[in-house]
Structures are given as C-alpha cells and as structure tokens.
Amino acid sequence: MITNKIFQKNPYLKTLESSVSSLNCDKKTAKLILTDTIFFPTGGGQSCDKGFIKFNENKYPVIDVYEAGKEVVHVISIEKNRGKLPEEGAKIALEIDWKHRFDNMQRHCGEHILSGVIYKLFQGTNKGFHMGEEYITIDIDFSQSDYSKLTWQMAEKAELEANKVIWKGASVHTDYFDNRELASGLPLRKPLAFDEDISIVTIGDFSEPDDCVACCGTHPRFASEVGLLKIYKIESNKGMSRIYFEAGNRAFNTYQKQFNTLYDMSLRLSTSTTDIANAYESQLSYINELKKQLSNFRGSAINHAVQEIVSKLAKKNNSSDNPKDDGCGNLKNDGYNNLKNEACNTQSKEKSNAAEQLETESAVPVFSYTEFAVDDILNISKKLFMLDKDTACIKNNLISMVCASENTVILLSDGSKDTRNCAKLAELAREKFQGKGGGKPVSARIYFPDRNNLDKFIKYISQSSTKNTTTKCNN
C-alpha cells in the first residue's frame, strides 16, 4: 500500500490523524505502516523526523522512519510502554518534533542556496552532502570549471552571496513530476538521477533561479526563514573542496557562542573585539620572552645543581673511597672511626644516628628537589654522565635524585654491582613499593603513588647498600 506523504504538500503540518495499515512487533519496538504520514523518512542527506504516535492513552516515541518501496515505516519504542498497541485499521494521532523538523528545513535549504551560489559563481558541482550533528559538509568538484579548488576568498564571496539570497526572501518551490520528461524542462543545476517520482526544489524565479535541483527533503516556503548561513572552514578532500558550514538557528547559536568568547577575551586583554589579534600577538611576544628568560634561569639552576652534586660526590669519594688502615684497626677518617669504634665498643645492635646518617650518605647520596620537574632532573642526569668521564663522580656510587612534586626518583650508577643496578632496583620498587617505571643498569626512572612509598624505597636501598659497604666490627 502506498503511504500518502502529507509532508510533501505541507511541511509545516505538526499533527495529523491517520490509520494503521499494518503493524509488526518485537520485544522493544513496533513497526507501523500508515495510510497517511507527516513524518519525513531518512533520505537525500536529511535525517528522519522525530516525534510521537498516540493511541488511546498511550504515547509512543518514534525512533526511526524509513521508506520500504512506496511505504513509509514508522518505528516506535514500546520497551517502556507495553500498553495495548493499535490494530490494523485503528485511528492514531501523529505529532512531529517541530524544532527538529524546522532545524532540518533551515539547514537543508541553506545547503541548496550555498551549492547554487557556488555553481553560479565558480561552476563548482556539489558531489556530496552530509548534515551532521555539529556542522553540514558539502564536497565541491571543480574539475569542469576554470578553478582548481575553493580558496578562502572564494568561500567568503560565496557566503556573502548566499546570505543575500536569504535576505531578499527568495521563494522556495517544490514541484513533483511523474517522469523525467516532465521535469527536464527546468533549469537544473545537476542532471536527474531518477526516472519517476521526481521532486524538484527551486529557489527564486524559474527564469533565473538561485538554485534548481532534484531533492526529496523538506524546505521552508521562503529563503528568509533560513535566517543565516556561515562557513566555518574549507579543506581538500579526495581531489575536491570540502566546505564545513551551518545554517539557520544553529549558525546563529554558534556565532553567539564565538562572539561571547571574543568579548570575554577582549575584557581579559583590555582591548576591543576588533583588536584582539594584535593584543594576542603582543601577549604572545611577551610570553615568549618570559619563556626565554625562564629557560636561561632553569639552565643556570641545572648547571648549579650539577656542580653541587659533583662537589659533594668528590668530597664523599675522597673521604670514604678505599680508606687506609692506620695500623690500629682504624680507618683514616676520624669522624667515621669515632662513630664506628663507639658502636663496636658498646656492641650495640643499633648504630648511632650520626653513624647511620654517614653510612647512608656513603651508600646512596640523595638529592631532593622541590623546584625542578622530572625533565629538569633528567637533564641533570645527562650532564652528570657527560662529566663522569672527567670527574668519575658516578663511579662506585648509586645516586638518587628525587622530584618531590611528582613523587619520582631518578637513579644513576655505574651499574657494576647488583646493589647499584638501577634496572633491578626499579624492579624492586615495583614489587615492594608500588612503584612504576624502569630503566637500564646505569639509570632508571621510578614513579611512586605517594611520598611515603618513595621514602621507604630510598631508606630500603640505603640500608641495603650500607650493609654491603660498611666495615664490620670485630669483637
């Protein structure tokens, strides 16, 4: 049975009474074919109408509408409403979502106007059209014109001319023809692709129309109802020029949001909306200069940190590397020997705080930074490796550098022993202290979820290294 498409004759009709020709159901949906409908089915680049079908006291949302031959199928959701469904021949009420319908009418007519203008100005042919949620796109082919592509200057000219068609309120006609011969006399922008049931939309006078092309969509009676058309951007696409634009209420809403953003920026920059670009360039130059200064300061701070580390490691190595026995069982390091002898003489299982600190410093020097980021500390480590050839500051050492703000530890060593194998220590951090990361035997980067786990890890590797490096007491 052929469904009578009332929307073709009157696209402004919002409600209608109709009869059910057939109905098929599953658990979640029902598919109805009606004698008459105001619901536009998906087609011609335009989405279907939304709305409701009412039967008795039940109101069912229409979630899809499509054509099957000459019938229009209405898909309704019955998942949340399992009331009695209409039977064949039953009277029902239709109600479309007018906001959605008029939105489609504005956008689709805007597409016709812009395509017609581009064809008249530049002989560009519309080869593809899509009405998306965020914008409309059309793909313009210039292979049969004197132009190779659409430039922004051409787009601006087309945009102005399209809005002139809107402002003059050109009439919009939709005519229906049974066959190609009857429709062929019109000044069509594109050749017909159908042989029967042809609908032609003409904008402006038939003698010299602003656009004339086959289309099955819904359109307003006058171009002025489109209101506004705005091109957003253009780009190359498969040898054609793709135009992103919007029309109608959507174009106005986008313009309003963008202008509000410009107005807010003008207040922040203490300038007018027309001078934002200059104010921005001035701010950008100032920021770039600050970045240069910051980079110089950071470089100086990093170099100072490197010198400080090298200096401290040099002192440590001179005082503790291979100390000689003085013949009395003491090492030539008075501070260390005093603490060592005190611990040995008292046969205490707990080392004194001073001795523990010294041994910890001897085993794993820890350098903690609150102002440096991880990348800065990585730069410090690179410089230390470069200097190591001359200073040997890393040799026989396991160095720990802490980024306090990011709970991250950078380990450096010569990788010569298991207790100084950074990769193995990173594995230990993952197993015992919830650390993440890894590295090589000579360097590793480890992130901890909190400072508590980081401190425990540092203490653990310091104690482990101390046990392996401290001279034992003989009773």
CATH number of the CATH domain containing 36? 2.40.30.130
Which residues make Cβ contacts (< 8 Å) with residue 400, sequence separation at least 6?
Answer: 364, 365, 366, 367, 409, 410, 411, 458, 461
**Do 74 and 37 fall within a single domain?**
yes
Average pLDDT over residues 284-299: 95
Asked whether residue 363 carries a pLDDT value surpassing 80, the answer given is no
Q: Does residue 272 sit within a domain? A: no
Q: Higher-confidence residue: 325 or 129? A: 129
**Do 10 and 66 fall within a single domain?**
yes
Report the SS3 class of residue 445: strand
pLDDT computed for residue 81 by the predictor: 73
Q: Do residues 229 and 159 lie in contact, with contact meaning Cβ atoms separated by under 8 Å?
A: yes
Which residues make Cβ contacts (< 8 Å) with residue 415, sequence separation at least 6?
Answer: 421, 422, 440, 441, 442
Pairing of strands 36-37, 4-5: parallel
Considering the chain, what is the average pLDDT of its residues? Answer: 87
Asked whether residue 468 carries a pLDDT value surpassing 90, the answer given is no
Which residues make Cβ contacts (< 8 Å) with residue 16, sequence separation at least 6?
Answer: 6, 36, 37, 38, 93, 94
Asked whether residue 144 carries a pLDDT value surpassing 70, the answer given is yes
CATH number at residue 165: 3.30.980.10
Pairing of strands 125-131, 136-141: antiparallel
Q: Containing H/E element for 457?
A: helix 451-469
pLDDT computed for residue 343 by the predictor: 34
Q: Does residue 44 sit within a domain? A: yes
Domain-terminating residue out of 72, 96, 120: 96
Q: Containing H/E element for 313?
A: helix 276-320
**Do 168 and 233 fall within a single domain?**
yes
Q: Do residues 27 and 51 lie in contact, with contact meaning Cβ atoms separated by under 8 Å?
A: no
At residue 456's C-alpha, the angle toward residues 453 and 460, to 5°, is 140
Distance CA 332, CA 323 (A): 6
Domain-terminating residue out of 96, 121, 145: 96
Q: Do residues 413 and 365 lie in contact, with contact meaning Cβ atoms separated by under 8 Å?
A: no
CATH number at residue 405: 3.10.310.40
Distance CA 31, CA 74 (A): 6
Report the SS3 class of residue 447: strand
pLDDT computed for residue 466 by the predictor: 63
Distance CA 250, CA 133 (A): 10
The first and second tokens of residue 173, run together, are 């006609």
The first and second tokens of residue 47, run together, are 């989405």
Distance CA 305, CA 410 (A): 14
In the beta sheet, which residues pair with residue 126?
Answer: 140
- 9 φ/ψ angles, rounded to the nearest 5 degrees: -85, -35
Q: Which residue has the tokens 């890894």?
A: 438
**Do 236 and 380 fall within a single domain?**
no
Q: Containing H/E element for 165?
A: helix 152-167
Task: Give residue 242's identity as a one-letter amino acid code.
Answer: R
DSSP letter for 332, please.
S
Asked whether residue 342 carries a pLDDT value surpassing 70, the answer given is no
Q: Higher-confidence residue: 273 or 84? A: 273
Q: What is the pLDDT of residues 252-267, one digit of tens each?
A: 999 999 999 999 999 9
Distance CA 201, CA 207 (A): 14
Q: Does residue 169 sit within a domain? A: yes
Q: Which residue has the tokens 């490197």?
A: 306
pLDDT computed for residue 300 by the predictor: 95
C-alpha distances out from residue 213 to 123, 195, 249, 281, 430, Å: 15, 14, 24, 46, 68
pLDDT computed for residue 188 by the predictor: 93
Q: Higher-confidence residue: 326 or 369? A: 369
Average pLDDT over residues 409-437: 91
pLDDT computed for residue 362 by the predictor: 43
Residue 261 sits in which domain range? 102-266
Q: Which residue has the tokens 């090589």?
A: 440
Please count the structural domains in the chain.
3
Q: Does residue 234 sit within a domain? A: yes
Distance CA 140, CA 383 (A): 56
Q: What is the pLDDT of residues 201-235, one digit of tens each?
A: 999 998 999 999 999 999 999 999 999 999 999 99
Q: Whole-prediction pTM value?
A: 0.70
**Do 84 and 106 fall within a single domain?**
no
Q: Does residue 426 sit within a domain? A: yes
Q: Does residue 273 sit within a domain? A: no
**Do 107 and 231 fall within a single domain?**
yes
**Do 145 and 246 fall within a single domain?**
yes
- 386 φ/ψ angles, rounded to the nearest 5 degrees: -65, -35
Q: Which is nearest to 414 in space by CA: 446, 388, 439?
A: 388
Domain-terminating residue out of 244, 266, 288: 266
In the beta sheet, which residues pair with residue 444?
Answer: 411, 439
**Do 90 and 117 fall within a single domain?**
no
Asked whether residue 474 carries a pLDDT value surpassing 60, the answer given is no
pLDDT computed for residue 167 by the predictor: 97
Q: Which is nearest to 444 in space by CA: 475, 398, 409?
A: 409
In the beta sheet, which residues pair with residue 408?
Answer: 403, 447
Q: Which is nearest to 336 in space by CA: 355, 317, 311?
A: 355
Q: Do residues 167 and 224 lie in contact, with contact meaning Cβ atoms separated by under 8 Å?
A: yes
**Do 82 and 216 fall within a single domain?**
no
Which residues make Cβ contacts (< 8 Å) with residue 27, sequence separation at least 6?
Answer: 79
Q: Does residue 152 sit within a domain? A: yes
Q: How many residues does the chain have?
A: 475
pLDDT computed for residue 337 by the predictor: 39
**Do 397 and 306 fall within a single domain?**
yes
**Do 449 and 390 fall within a single domain?**
yes
**Do 175 and 261 fall within a single domain?**
yes
Q: Does residue 276 sit within a domain? A: no
C-alpha distances out from residue 313 to 22, 268, 365, 466, Å: 90, 50, 8, 16
pLDDT band, very low/low/confident/very high, at 126 (cuts 50, 70, 90): very high
Q: Which of 162-166, 306-310, 337-341, 466-470 has the highest mean pLDDT?
A: 162-166
Q: Which residue has the tokens 């990348």?
A: 375
